[in-house]
Structure 1
Amino acid sequence: MTGLDKMISQILEEADAAASQKEADAASRAEAILSEAEKEAEILKTEIEEKSEKELAGYESRHRLADEQKRRTALLLAKQEIISDTIEKAYQKFCSMETEAYFEVIAKMIRKFALPKEGEILFSEKDLGRMPEGFRAEIARAAKEKGGSLTVSGETRRMEGGFVLVYGGVEENCSFRALFDSRKDELQDKVNRLLFF
């Protein structure tokens, strides 16, 4: 082997050694990059899983809250319906009292609502027709106790029960419906306490 051949052979060996080293370095770097990418992918996967679990838990929680809200709303509506029905039944029972009991209630109401003025009292056509004998005198006594006077008007009002007081052109609606409506909140609270507590 000549000197040139030796030199070429040595250069080739060095080139092979350098190439092998570069290949090994590249393979090592590629393995490190791949290992780092796998670690990052595992971290990212864990973060995504945790985020998904949190989102799922949040969704389930919101879903449970929404279901609970729907249940509470339905329960509240049912309670309100029961309360309204109870009040309406009480109103109907009030309107359908026997004549004697009915006019006893009317007399008490007149004593409560009459003013110390001169006025008129108006009833429904039905109540005018079934008014007990001597009740007009009872009305006059009740008004006199309050320092005023009331005369029964021949004019009627459309109402299921109660009366309307008129003083100097100003009317005070004392019909059962007006009284029930004016105390609606109070009645609802009382019925709610009686039925649900």
Structure 2
Amino acid sequence: MSNLDNIIQTILQDAEAESEKILNEAENNKNKYISEIEKQARERKEEIISKANEEAEQLVEKTTNNANLKARDSLLIAKQDVISKIIDIVKEKLKNIDDKSYTDILLKTIKSSNIGDDVEIMVQENRVDIVKSLGLKNKISDKYVESGFSILEGNSVLNNDFSSLVDYMKDDLESYIAEKLFSE
């Protein structure tokens, strides 16, 4: 039996050697596979980090741009508010100009408009007596304007209501005020 034992022993040794060879090969394959997976994971990690950094930069830029736009809009709104308040002040000051300036403007308008004595003049209620004291031949209307005056001739009206004139010139006034106040 010794031959048989030798053959079995050789077969077992060969099987053990083959088994060890297969296990070593499997271990090497496992290590290669793990290395490859780790390499792919590192590459994917770098891609994710790079993409996250790009997205973060874009988000920061977008947020900064939005903040700048909001700040610009707020500034424009504040400037427009200042301009509107100035225009309101101008209207109020014109409404309350002194009597001499008021009558000077009225007389100059009547003279430059070349109107006749048959026209009717609408004035501010608080200025009726002053206008009557000018000795004009024109009729003073029993209707009033808010500020300034209007000249009624037949069906036509020469509107010199100061608020209306300011509103008519509003775009030009806004540009002028903005240029004077906010030019840098």
| TM-score normalised by structure 2 residue count | 0.87
* Residue-by-residue CA offset, 1:30-78 (whole Å, 9 max, x unaligned): 1111111111111111111111111111111111112111211121111
Partner of 1:187: 173
Q: CA deviation at 1:20?
A: 0.8
Q: How does 1:1-197 map to 2 (within 5 A)?
A: 2-111=2-111, 114=113, 119-131=119-131, 133-134=133-134, 136-137=136-137, 151-159=138-146, 161-197=147-183
Consecutive unaligned residues in structure 1, runs of 5 or more: 138-150
Q: Counterpart of 1:174 in structure 2: which amino acid?
A: N
Q: 1:116 to 1:136 in 2, by over 3 A?
A: closer
Q: CA deviation at 1:129?
A: 2.6
Deviates more, 1:58-67 or 1:27-36: 58-67
Distance (whole Å) between structure 2 residues aligned to residue 120 and residue 87 of structure 1: 29
Q: 1:7 to 1:110 in 2, by over 3 A?
A: farther
Contact 2:120 2:141 in 1 (8 A): no
Q: CA deviation at 1:132?
A: 5.4
Q: CA deviation at 1:105?
A: 1.7
Consecutive unaligned residues in structure 2, runs of 5 or more: none
Q: Counterpart of 1:134 in structure 2: which amino acid?
A: L
Q: CA deviation at 1:135?
A: 5.2
Distance (whole Å) between structure 2 residues aligned to residue 50 and residue 178 of structure 1: 62
SS in 2 for 1:121: strand
Distance (whole Å) between structure 2 residues aligned to residue 73 and residue 36 of structure 1: 54
Q: 1:120 to 1:49 in 2, by over 3 A?
A: same
- RMSD value over aligned CA atoms? 2.2
SS in 2 for 1:131: helix
Distance (whole Å) between structure 1 residues aligned to residue 114 and residue 33 of structure 2: 98
* Residue-by-residue CA offset, 1:67-112 (whole Å, 9 max, x unaligned): 1112111211111111111222222222211101111122334456
Number of aligned pairs?
A: 182
* Residue-by-residue CA offset, 1:167-196 (whole Å, 9 max, x unaligned): 443444321111111111110000011111
- Determine what percentage of the aligned residue pairs are the same residue: 26
